[in-house]
């Protein structure tokens, strides 16, 4: 495993970080508790020291599973990356910005973006209990909240740093203008953003700005939620309550298939899977600090960790780049 310093912080994170969205179950067709815990244990046992989660993932379940999984482990050797700012339990009393309805099977669960100072502090206390820890290594605003002044949210993060409840503060899904506004109040550690072979929008403005200002980039959805593994073009099926039934519709399946078929021989030559090759390519892109990789069982977690064993040469990167360009 390789470890990288995150932005202007003293956090050294594993380049492949355990992404814990899917183990929350909601929007992913459910989960298996023991498989989820086994996946975390396997990650930690294979050099993945960093875990990324959020209260919204499983409405607290993802955090609880992580808290249970790391119990008895050396906390100083684990970095917990968490978020705040999505409220689903009505505690915002109608305040904030309506995001979407996370309900299913006729049940309504309205989710709001809400990043007031009081809510930030409240959420952190709840997360600390679920995670069974007394500090969070990196706390990130999950999504921008248009109803709360940016400086109010950032002042709350500064306060939490002063109190020792968080080691560093970052944001997620922030635009260039939002980053600049936040930087007036706080020195941001990172911006967590969506990025993949099929989605390279951040290369235009976000990457140049973060490189110039020593802000880390944390990548989520590098495999486009499993699409770039190739298994959904074969025998894998999605459950009816899996959000990816709709998510995958934004991509041209024939172009994606062609991309994967072109790069598969490179993966094979490395004794690697296509998914591992895609992840490794992502870790090598300019400005990228760490890459989140989800796993729902130990075998997937081990495969993700072994991604960093792959070496890609210039000619191979050229072939991959050409295939990506043709997939647009």
* Residues 21, 44: Cα–Cα separation, whole Å: 17
Phi and psi, residue 132, nearest 5°: 60, 45
Helix/strand/coil for 23: helix
Q: What does the alpha-carbon distance between residue 282 and residue 18 come to, in Å, rounded to a whole number?
A: 15
Scanning the chain, the segments in alpha helix (DSSP H) are 33-45, 61-69, 117-131, 150-162, 176-182, 206-212, 244-247, 253-269, 274-283, 298-305, 314-326
The SS3 call for residue 137 is strand
Q: Which residues contact 59 (CB under 8 A, 6 or more apart)?
A: 24, 26, 88, 89
Q: Is 135 among the residues known to form the active site?
A: no
Contacts of 9 (CB under 8 A, 6+ apart): 138, 167, 168, 189, 216
Q: Taking a C-beta distance cutoff of 8 angstroms, is the pair 117, 155 a contact?
A: yes
Q: How many residues appear in the chain?
A: 328
Residue tagged active-site, from 57, 174, 195, 220: 57
If residue 171 lies in a helix (H) or strand (E), which one and from where to where?
Answer: strand 166-172
Active site positions, annotated: 57
């Amino acid at each position: 495993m390789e470890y990288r310093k995150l932005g202007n912080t003293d956090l050294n994170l594993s380049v492949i970080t355990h992404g814990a969205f899917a183990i929350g179950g909601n929007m992913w067709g459910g989960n298996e508790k023991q498989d989820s815990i086994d996946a975390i244990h396997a990650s930690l046992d294979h050099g993945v020291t960093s875990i990324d989660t959020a209260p919204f993932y499983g409405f607290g379940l993802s955090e609880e599973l992580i808290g249970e999984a790391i119990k008895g482990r050396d906390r100083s050797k684990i970095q917990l990356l968490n978020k705040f700012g999505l409220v689903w339990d009505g505690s915002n009393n109608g305040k904030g910005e309506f995001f979407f309805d996370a309900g299913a099977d006729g049940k309504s669960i309205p989710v709001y973006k809400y990043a007031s100072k009081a809510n930030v502090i409240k959420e952190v206390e709840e997360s600390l209990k679920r995670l069974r820890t007394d500090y969070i290594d990196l706390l990130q605003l999950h999504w921008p909240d248009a109803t709360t002044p940016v400086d109010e949210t950032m002042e709350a993060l500064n306060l939490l740093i002063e109190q020792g409840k968080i080691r560093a503060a970052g944001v997620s899904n922030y635009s260039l203008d939002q980053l600049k506004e936040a930087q007036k109040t706080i020195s941001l550690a990172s911006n967590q953003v969506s990025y993949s072979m099929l989605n390279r929008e951040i290369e235009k403005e976000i990457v140049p700005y973060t490189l110039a200002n020593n802000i880390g980039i944390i990548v989520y959805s590098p495999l486009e939620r499993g699409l770039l593994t190739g298994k959904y073009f074969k025998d894998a099926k999605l459950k009816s309550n899996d959000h990816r039934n709709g998510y995958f519709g934004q991509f041209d399946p024939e172009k994606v298939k062609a991309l994967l078929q072109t790069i598969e021989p490179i993966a094979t030559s490395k004794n690697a899977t296509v998914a591992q090759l895609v992840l490794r390519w992502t870790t090598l892109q300019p400005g990228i600090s760490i890459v989140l990789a989800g796993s729902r069982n130990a075998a997937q977690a081990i495969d993700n960790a072994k991604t960093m064993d792959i070496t890609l040469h210039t000619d191979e990167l050229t072939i991959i780049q050409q295939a990506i360009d043709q997939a647009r």
